[in-house]
Amino acid sequence: MGYFRQNIEQAKGYEPGFQPKQTDVLKLNTNENPYPPSPAVMKVLAEINTEKLRRYPDPVGDEFRQAAAQIHSIPPDNIMCCNGGDELLTIAFRAFCDRNRPVAYPVPTYSLYPVLARLQNCRAIQVPFDSEFNLPAKLAGAGAPLTIVCNPNAPTGTFIDVGELASLADELDGVLLIDEAYVDFAEADCVNLVKDLDNVIILRSMSKGYGLAGLRFGYAVAQPDLIAGLMKVKDSYNVDALAIALAAAAIKDQKYFKENVEKVKKERKRLTERLRELNFEVPESSANFVLAAGRDRNAREIYDKLEQRNIYVRFFDLPSLSNKLRITVGTGEQNDKLISALKEILSSKGTSNGKENG
């Protein structure tokens, strides 16, 4: 084409997870919450008036900031609302990175980071995790103005201790963005780090724990100076009036949120056990998905056979993630359906791994 900047011409672009059009499928491929959002959200939606739509929204979404601030016991000016956590990542790349200012992150991790680096024309310093997905010691020495650690990590589901991330932030000269998109399902989180550390940004998403992936709402938590800098980069009206009202209703209903998260965690445990019984290797997950390694099975073939049954999961075959399936935790009924399909597939011939199935 030739009309675009060279790095855009060369970019592949991010490939979002498959979103099937049919409704009669079992969709365990993009880590949505299997349960609906709080009834409080639906009530606010039903009561939205036209005036709210006629006018521009509050540019900073104070209704949501007040509600989130209360939950995290921090002032509202420590929060910036975003059009999904992904928008915060875009804003951070634009704010901190360019041709001479690289980003650093451990790999394997969220595949959007290298795409954003390419779009921003900045170098991506990818530091490999060890086989247990511990925080790589070399990350601090990379000297990047922006370091990102996804915690719990995607797609492994593994968790790095808060203390280790505090030490990393302390060692860095640049900013540490901790991507906590999945933290609602973990046992700890890093929000309190922003009270003492002026170089930490926490990313939160309303897509996972709050069941609002379709709404597109996330937020940043950081000290006011960092928030003010990020605000300069965002679009003026980056979150719409409906989203602000509905996300605020969702975060205020902590009782529903906590019950919902507990249900997912309980199912995660059960799904992990069932998969291990089927001889998959499944590391402990702190997220709402599990990563199942095929061992002697051909994960690609299992993936295809699940798809033939209208069951969608995610298949990985990267050098650091070979022969693996990432499976979103569904409801009890959905997980049972997946496990019976897997039993059926594994008892048929042709899934014992080997290049011959390839």
Ligand X SMILES: Cc1ncc(COP(=O)(O)O)c(C=O)c1O
Residues that bind ligand X (CB under 6 A): 31, 84-86, 110, 150, 154, 179, 181, 205, 207, 213, 218
Nearer to ligand X, 148 or 227 (CB): 148
Nearer to ligand X, 277 or 284 (CB): 284
Q: What is the DSSP string of 235-278?
A: -TT-S-HHHHHHHHHHHH-HHHHHHHHHHHHHHHHHHHHHHHHT
CB of 179 to ligand X, least distance (A): 5
Of 149, 151, 155, 218, whose CA–CA distance to 185 is shortest? 151
Nearer to ligand X, 29 or 334 (CB): 29
Strands (E), the chain: 26-27, 79-82, 103-107, 124-128, 146-150, 175-179, 200-205, 218-221, 289-293, 311-312, 314-318, 321-328
Nearer to ligand X, 212 or 271 (CB): 212
CB of 216 to ligand X, least distance (A): 7
CB of 113 to ligand X, least distance (A): 9
Helix-helix angle 241-252:62-72, to 10 degrees = 20
Provide the token pair at 59. 């540019």
Greatest pairwise CA separation for the chain in angstroms: 63
Provide the token pair at 318. 């990267």
Nearer to ligand X, 162 or 278 (CB): 162
CB of 87 to ligand X, least distance (A): 7
CB of 152 to ligand X, least distance (A): 9
CB of 197 to ligand X, least distance (A): 20
CB of 82 to ligand X, least distance (A): 8
Q: Are strands 175-179 and 79-82 parallel, antiparallel or unpaired?
A: unpaired
Nearer to ligand X, 129 or 274 (CB): 129
In the chain, count H helices and then E strands.
Answer: 14, 12
| Residue 141 near residue 174, CB atoms below 8 Å | no
C-alpha of 135 from chain center? 18
Nearer to ligand X, 126 or 207 (CB): 207
| Residue 211 near residue 33, CB atoms below 8 Å | yes
